Amino acid sequence: MGKRFKNKETIMNECRMCKGQLEEQRVTRVQEYQGQWYIIENLPALVCRQCGDIYYTPQAHDRVIDLITSDATPVRVEHVSVLDAS
């Protein structure tokens, strides 16, 4: 009869946009951190089968910050083009 705490981060299985089914996939995420851009490959995420919307779990987010703030050696370094749309 212990009080059951509702999990703050309930596991999602339905897309917020279209109610499509989400499935776990590995995706590439681009993340800015303190003025620097990082590309994180093979990050586990939930992807909507219908509209392709991507949802990151709190664990995936922590993993991104972990990788960025650790001294992990990049697998490669890319040059990024910056375009001005004004």
Q: Smallest gap, in angstroms, from Cβ of residue 12 to Zn ion?
A: 11
Nearer to Zn ion, 12 or 18 (CB): 18
Q: Smallest gap, in angstroms, from Cβ of residue 10 to Zn ion?
A: 17
Chain positions contacting Zn ion, by CB under 5 A:
15, 17-18, 20, 48, 50-51, 53
Nearer to Zn ion, 44 or 52 (CB): 52
Nearer to Zn ion, 51 or 65 (CB): 51
Q: Smallest gap, in angstroms, from Cβ of residue 20 to Zn ion?
A: 4
- Helices (DSSP H) in 1-86: which residue ranges? 58-69
Q: Which residues contact 47 (CB under 8 A, 6 or more apart)?
A: 22, 23, 24, 25, 27, 53, 54, 55
Give the Cα separation of 83 and 72 in Å (integer): 29
